[in-house]
Amino acid sequence: METQYEFTPIARVHSCFKETFGIPRQPNLARDAPGLLVFEPKFANPEAIRELQGFSHIWLIFVFHAKSSRKWQPMVRPPRLGGNQKVGVFASRSPFRPNPIGMSVVGLTSVETTSKGPVLHLKGVDILDQTPVLDIKPYLPYSDGIHHATGGFAPDSPEAVPEISFSPGAVAQCRELEGKIPDLKSIITQVLENDPRPAYFKSRSDEINSSTESLNQERIFGMKLFNFDLKWIHRGNGIHVISLDPISSG
């Protein structure tokens, strides 16, 4: 008889990423992207994390709770291959898996003691806001950092967008918000350096880059970050941030 397992979330991540579009595809690509891990009441016991503050990084095992209704397939098209070439789902980090489980290694900057239990302050997150966490494990550099490992079809980190510029209005908005969101301009730059566009935009842009008409010319892209809509356009090989518009409460 097949054994059935039930998993109970122990915590939730509160992150700056409010929608799936734009989230870095791997942890620490936006090294300053902040997050908080807040325990569910049943697990908000300080004894459960005793000595955790001695580790600079932790593994989070979580659920892709916002995964679309799209069913898993044995073959997927990873963005690193331009979205055109298929590989096996188990040779990828696609969120469309038989079981919607993800894992990330994130920085642990501090442990806060609150009246409702401990709160973990994180950085380098690549996790959607309100994501349920199933487990936490410390990152062990001597064991987890395998320096001679090979990366298959993704041997190196993705090539960063060479230039991220900001309009005067966007610069002013960043300055206004940085009182509540430290290092905001740096966080935006790190997120956009990874070029959040779907892979087919990039590949098609490369194909027609020498023509007089560009696929992305003056096309406005946007994503929800923190409590605002970040909007930008692509110009040449760079990205130009237009504005940080407050998200309407209505």
Do residues 111 and 119 touch, judged by C-beta distance below 8 A? yes
Pairing between β-strand 238-246 and β-strand 164-166 as defined by DSSP bridges: parallel
pLDDT digits (tens, 9 = 90+) for 103-120: 999 999 999 999 999 999
Q: Smallest Cα–Cα separation from 243: which of 226, 225, 231, 227?
A: 231
Going by pLDDT thresholds of 50, 70 and 90, the confidence category of residue 83 is confident
Return the pLDDT at 156: 83
For residue range 185-240, what is the model confidence (pLDDT) as tens digits?
999 999 999 998 876 666 555 554 544 345 445 689 999 999 999 999 998 889 99
pLDDT tens-digit series, residues 125-136: 999 999 999 999
Looking at residue 55, its pLDDT comes to 98
pTM of the model: 0.88
- Which position has the token pair 């290092």? 183
| Orientation angle between helical segments 184-193 and 168-177, nearest 10 degrees | 120
DSSP annotation string for 16-74: SB-SSTT--SSTTSSTT-EEEEEE-GGG--GGGGTTGGG-SEEEEEEE-TT--SPPP-S
